[in-house]
Amino acid sequence: MQKAFSYRFYPTTEQESLLRRTLGCVRLVYNRALAARTEAWYERKERLDYVQTSALLTQWKKQDDLQFLNEVSCVPLQQALRHLQSAFTNFFAGRAKYPNFKKKRNGGSAEFTKSAFRWKDGKVFLAKCNEPLNIPWSRRLPDGVEPSTVTIRLNPAGQWYINLRFDDPRELTLQPVDPSVGLDVGISSLITLSTGEKIANPKHFNRYYKRLRKAQRSLSRKQKGSRNWDKARLKVAKIHQKISDSRKDHLHQLTTRLIRENQTIIIESLAVKNMVKNRQLARSISDAGWGELVRQLEYKAQWYGRTLVKIDRWFPSSKRCGQCGHIVERLPLSVREWDCPKCGAHHDRDINAARNILAVGHTVTVCGAGVRPDRHTSGGQLRRSRKSQK
């Protein structure tokens, strides 16, 4: 199984100078290739691919004003062209927007394949560097394993990170357990479990909101492009990085606990990209990190031999009575508790939704198909998807 471990590292002055030049060259090559492909299409209706942009890179290296491209490793430059090709492939497949130009203030990254780095005695030596990178190892790679790809990344806060990709031969499957759990994500409570437990939303953005607002006001008073503006921008970026780090740390602890305690985890397949279009809830939804929560559950379930089931996002988990199955027509978000008009059962909105998700998740597991309400029936009865009917 392919994995990637990320570490923060602290380069020396010489290493940082070389790495910054490498990132600058990668950014220049990517932007020039993107401009060339865009120009070729709009002016001559031609499509350039990776092979043609690679030939352009060879020509650029021969120009007098671009001789500095020869001072860094050629591998990250070629990898930048491959990444651009992947970006266009995703664009033409409808999975992404048109590629954007890279900006210096966003940091950047450079990918080194095996020919551009050495792995010796548990240390990383990059091309054109005589000293290994200073990496405080929070966790070691498995014994006998060497990374296949190394990615150097500089974030907007000025922090250096290294990603090591490798093939993990270890068997990490956990011992099977009996419990299964349904999860209902929310804002006031980050997730509600079908067991009745509610895990509060830490609201990391609110913790740093005053500091961030003060830093952004200071940034707005600076002349754009000046040194003071760059210092103020760095302060804002560091606060954003703290928010992101605290959110990821909390989600890692939470998802690891869920994976260890449950054999099957059932959750709704949410369209977070569409949900953040709601102006009133966009910031709260983004701060909750629902997409990152699901992403971590997916790969950790694969690592440790657990099962993650996603049910249809249109399943009325909150509106459906967990006792008799009656579906109410309307249930505003402000209503947190309600009584079933048919059987009189009293429900906590989130706990009822989590239990309904758990119940329908077992159906999805058995039938291998999603379950959603039939909008063409007056009672909103449930129906199985066409896939299960074939």
Q: Catalytic amino acids?
A: 184, 268, 350
Beta bridge partners of 268: 311
Helix pair 50-62, 74-92: axis angle to 10 deg: 150
Task: Specify the DSSP element, H or E, that contains 166.
Answer: strand 160-167
Tokens for 152? Answer: 């150097």
307-311 and 264-268 as β-strands: parallel, antiparallel, unpaired? parallel
Beta-carbon count within 10 A of 356 CB = 24
The pair phi, psi for residue 331, each rounded to 5°, is -145, 90
Ramachandran category for residue 97: left, alpha or beta (phi over 0 → left; psi -120 to 50 → alpha): beta
State the sign of the Cα–Cα–Cα–Cα dihedral 110, 112, 117, 123: positive
Largest distance between two CA atoms of the chain: 82
The three-class DSSP label of residue 117 is: strand
Q: Closest Cα to residue 246, out of 200, 272, 207, 282?
A: 207
- Amino acid, single-letter form, for residue 143: D
Provide the CA 134 distance to its chain's centre, in angstroms: 26
Q: Where are the beta strands (DSSP E) in 217-283?
A: 264-268
Determine the Cα–Cα distance for residues 40 and 52; give it in Å rounded to an integer: 11
Beta-carbon count within 10 A of 183 CB = 26
Q: What is the DSSP string of 278-292?
A: -TTTHHHHHHHTHHH
**Could you tell me if 192 and 258 are in contact, meaning their C-beta atoms sit under 8 angstroms apart?**
no
Tokens for 160? Answer: 């250096």
